[in-house]
């Protein structure tokens, strides 16, 4: 079995990067671009001419793009509130506050069993706008939730990998310690037998590496209290040792490397099958220097 087969046949992802899908998307794009020239009859009962369509096409596409992106962002936060946080709070698993109108983090709260505090920011795609975040100083668990709804033509590993790098870079630059990235991928994620999307959880070390702590410890499965709540609420299974869940937990090791001015080495592998990995490479260890 090839590595690509493992992503679909073992882990259960859908591959959106197939040639057939790419061809379909190319046809749709061609139709949009050529509609005014090749199919003028479409405009016979419209208030615009083919020439007006061609002239305004680019601006209309940009306007739609902005509308879609804005709606995805708002929808993502509401989805997480409605599907995860409200049910978990009603079931006594946590308490939370919606901070979207008041602070630079979407949600913060506390797990009931462990009394750990959490802060969570929600993104609708690749985590492109995380630079503005302000994290409460008493946060025990820092979570980045990616609510995916884009159907870009990418294979499962590329689709998962693209959400990680910005969070790692942000954590290093800002001297913060993200605990998890949770990737809830409706279009391409694996599903349970009854159709519920299984989120993928990327687990970081207990602290991000630094020159004084080059090899931070990774948590154990039994330490993953927040993901346990997530899986229990979303798919009705809180056994992190169950292979259904193990297939969607990813260990993301980080190490400070004293070379070339300081590097951060990365290794990302699946908890169920360590041979299933995400390609990555070392990045520069960079923080804003003090004034001299």
- pLDDT tens-place string over residues 109-126: 999 999 999 999 998 765
Q: How far apart are CA 131 and CA 166, in angstroms?
A: 9
Q: How many CB atoms lie within 10 A of CB 128?
A: 11
Instruction: Read off the pLDDT of each residue in 66-79 and give the average, rounded to a whole number.
Output: 72
Report the pLDDT value the prediction gives residue 106, as an integer from 0 to 100: 93
Return the residue matching tokens 């602070």. Answer: 103
Q: Strands 283-284 and 117-123, how do they pair?
A: unpaired
Q: Is the pLDDT of residue 176 over 80?
A: yes
| Whole-number Å distance between alpha carbons of 14 and 155 | 8
Domain boundaries, the chain: 72-284
Share of the chain above pLDDT 70, in %: 90
Band of pLDDT at residue 166, cut at 50, 70 and 90: confident
pLDDT of residue 72 exceeding 60, the answer is no
Angle between helices 19-38 and 50-80 (to 10 degrees): 140
Predicted local distance difference test score (pLDDT) of residue 118 = 98
User: Is the pLDDT assigned to residue 91 strictly greater than 80?
Assistant: yes
pLDDT: which is higher, 21 or 184: 184
Please check whether residue 58 is in contact with residue 65, taking contact to mean a CB–CB distance below 8 angstroms. no
**Which value, in Å, is the radius of gyration of the alpha carbons in the chain?**
22
CA distance 254 to 214: 8
Question: Token pair for residue 133?
Answer: 């975040």
Cα-to-chain-centroid distance, residue 7? 17
Q: According to the model, what pLDDT value does residue 155 have?
A: 81
In terms of C-beta density within 10 A (0-12 exposed, 13-18 middle, 19 or more buried), how is residue 230 classed? buried
Distance between alpha carbon 23 and the CA centroid of its chain, in Å? 26
**Is pLDDT above 80 for 90?**
yes
DSSP for the chain, please give it.
--HHHIIIIIS-------HHHHHHHHHHHHHHHHHHHH-GGGGTTSSS-HHHHHHHHHHHHHHHHHHHHHHHHHHHHHHHIIIIIHHHHHTTSEEEEE-TTTSSSSEEEEETTT--EEEEEEESSS-TT-TT----TT-SEEEEEEEE----S--HHHHHHTTTHHHHHHHHHTT----EEEEEETTTS-B-TTS-B--EEEE--SS--BTTBSSPPPPPGGG-HHHHHHHHHHHS---TTSHHHHTTEEEEEEEEE-STT-EEEEEEEESS-TT-EE----EE---PPPP-
Residue 277 pLDDT grade (very low, low, confident, very high; cuts 50, 70, 90): very high
Residue 96: which pLDDT band, with cuts at 50, 70 and 90? very high
Question: Residue 71 pLDDT more than 60?
Answer: no
In the predicted model, is pLDDT for residue 5 greater than 80? yes
How does residue 66 score in pLDDT terms, banded at 50, 70 and 90?
confident
pLDDT for the residue 222 = 96
Statement: residue 187 has pLDDT above 80: yes
Most confident of 68-77, 152-161, 192-201: 192-201
Cβ–Cβ under 8 Å, residues 235 and 196 = yes
Whether the pLDDT of residue 67 is over 80: the answer is: no
Mean pLDDT in residue range 212-240:
97
Predicted pLDDT at 101: 80
CA dist 13 and 103 (Å) reads: 35
Asked if residue 124 lies in contact with residue 93, where contact means CB atoms within 8 angstroms, the answer is: no
Q: Is the model's pLDDT at 53 over the cut of 60?
A: yes
Residue 98 is predicted with a pLDDT of 94
Average pLDDT over residues 185-209: 94
- Tell me whether residue 283 is exposed, middle or buried, using C-beta atoms within 10 angstroms of its C-beta: 0 to 12, 13 to 18, 19 or more: middle
Average pLDDT (248-253) is 98
Q: In this predicted structure, what is the pLDDT of residue 120?
A: 96
Mean confidence (pLDDT) of the chain: 89
Highest mean pLDDT (candidates 58-72, 87-101, 147-161)? 87-101
Task: Quickly state the pLDDT bin for 69 (edges 50, 70, 90).
Answer: low
């Amino acid at each position: 079995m090839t590595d690509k087969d493992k992503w679909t046949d073992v882990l259960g992802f859908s591959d959106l990067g197939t040639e057939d899908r790419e061809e379909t998307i190319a046809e749709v794009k061609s139709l949009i671009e050529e509609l005014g020239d090749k199919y003028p009859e479409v405009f016979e009962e419209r208030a615009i001419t083919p020439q007006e369509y061609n002239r305004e096409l680019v601006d209309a596409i940009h306007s739609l793009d902005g509308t879609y992106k804005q709606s995805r962002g708002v929808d993502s936060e509401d989805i997480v509130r409605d599907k995860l946080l409200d049910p978990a709070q009603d079931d006594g698993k946590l308490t939370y506050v919606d901070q979207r109108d008041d602070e630079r983090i979407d949600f913060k709260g506390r797990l009931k069993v462990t009394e750990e505090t959490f802060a969570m920011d929600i993104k609708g795609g690749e985590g492109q706008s995380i630079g503005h975040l302000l994290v409460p100083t008493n946060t025990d668990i820092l979570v980045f939730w990616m609510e995916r709804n884009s159907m870009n033509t990418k294979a499962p590993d590329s689709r998962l990998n693209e959400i990680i790098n910005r969070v790692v870079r942000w954590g290093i630059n800002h001297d913060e310690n993200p605990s998890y990235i949770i990737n809830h991928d409706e279009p391409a994620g694996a599903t349970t037998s009854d159709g519920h999307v299984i989120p993928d959880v990327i687990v970081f070390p207990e602290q991000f590496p630094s020159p004084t702590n080059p090899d931070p410890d990774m948590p154990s499965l039994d330490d993953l209290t927040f993901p346990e709540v997530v899986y229990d609420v979303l798919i009705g299974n809180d056994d992190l040792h169950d292979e259904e869940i193990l297939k969607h937990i990813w260990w993301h090791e980080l190490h400070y490397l004293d070379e070339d001015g300081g590097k951060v080495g990365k290794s990302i592998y699946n908890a169920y099958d360590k041979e299933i990995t995400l390609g990555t490479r070392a990045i520069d260890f960079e923080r804003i220097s003090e004034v001299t």
